[in-house]
Amino acid sequence: LADMRYTFIEKVCAETVTKIPESKEHIRSVRIDRVFTNKYLAIPLFIGIMLAVFWLTFGVIGTFLSDMLAMAISELTVFVESGLEAYGINRVVHSLIIDGIFAGVGSVLSFLPIIVTLFFFLSILEDTGYMARVAFVMDKLLRKIGLSGRSFVPMLIGFGCTVPAIMATRTLPSERDRKRTIL
C-alpha cells in the first residue's frame, strides 16, 4: 500500500513539477562565492584586494589626479595674482584672495581626487557584490567585539572620509550597532 502511494506521488510530481535549469549567472555566482567566502582564502583575498585599492588610490591614480589638480590651482593662482597686481588691488585684499582663498581652498581641494578615487573603487566592489561577501566573512570576527558584519562597510568607508562613513551607519538595524560602529 505504501509502495503504491509513493509511486502515485512520484508520478504526480513528475507530471506537474518542472525544474528550471540553473542560469549561467547563478552558477558563476556560486563559484565566486566558493572562493571569496572560503574559510581560508576570504581574508587573504580581501587583504590583497584592499591593498590594491589603497595602492591605486593613494599611489598611482589618486596622486596623479591630486598633482594635476594642484598644478591647475597653482596656474590659476598665478593668473589671478597677475590680474590683481595689474589692476593695483590693495595688498590686504590681494593677500586674502591669494594666500587665504587660493592657498587654503587649494590645499583642501587637493585631497578631493584621492577621496573620489577611493569611493570609486569601493563603489565598484559594492556593485559587484564583493562588499556583501566581505560583510558575511567579517561577521564572525566582528561579533567578537559586539558588532555585526554589516558594520564592516561603514568602517571601511571611514578610510576615505568619516562623514560618509557615519552616514553609512544609517543602514544598520539598531541604534546600539550604529553608535558602536561610529566609535
For 46, other C-beta atoms within 10 Å of its C-beta total 19
Give the mean model confidence (pLDDT) for residues 149-176: 83
pTM of the predicted structure, to 2 decimals: 0.74
Q: Which three cell numbers stand for residue 145?
A: 567585539
For residue 64, the model assigns a pLDDT of 94
Say how far apart CA 117 and CA 129 lie, in whole Å. 19
How far out from the chain centre does Cα 14 lie? Answer: 47
pLDDT digits (tens, 9 = 90+) for 21-76: 888 988 998 999 999 999 899 999 999 998 999 899 888 998 899 999 999 999 99
Q: Which of 72, 73, 68 is nearest to 114 (CA)?
A: 68
Q: Model confidence over 65-113: pLDDT tens digits?
A: 999 999 999 999 999 999 999 998 899 999 999 998 988 888 888 888 9
Task: Give, in order, the Cα–Cα distances in Å from 97 to each of 53, 86, 87, 92, 162.
Answer: 37, 15, 14, 9, 29
Q: Which residue has the cell 590645499?
A: 107
pLDDT at 76: 93
Query: Cα(34)–Cα(57) distance, rounded to whole angstroms?
Result: 28
What distance in Å separates the CA atoms of residue 64 and residue 58, rounded to the nearest whole number? 9
The Cα 147–Cα 145 span in angstroms is 6
- pLDDT score of 159: 77
Average pLDDT over residues 126-150: 88
Please report the DSSP string for 20-56 in residue order. Answer: PPPPHHHHHHHHHHHHHT-TTTHHHHHHHHHHHHHHI
pLDDT value, residue 10: 92
Give the relative orientation of helices 130-143 and 24-36 as an angle to the nearest 10 degrees: 40
Output the pLDDT for position 48: 95
Count H helices and E strands in the chain, helices first: 11, 0
What integer pLDDT is reported at residue 14 of this predicted model? 86
Where along the chain do its domains lie?
52-127, 129-183
What cell does 129 get?
Answer: 557584490
Q: Per-residue confidence at 9, pLDDT binned at 50, 70, 90?
A: very high
Q: According to the model, what pLDDT value does residue 111 have?
A: 83
pLDDT for position 34: 92
Q: Grid coordinates representing 147?
A: 558588532
| pLDDT of res. 26 | 87
> Once rounded to an integer, what is the mean pLDDT over residues 146-160?
84
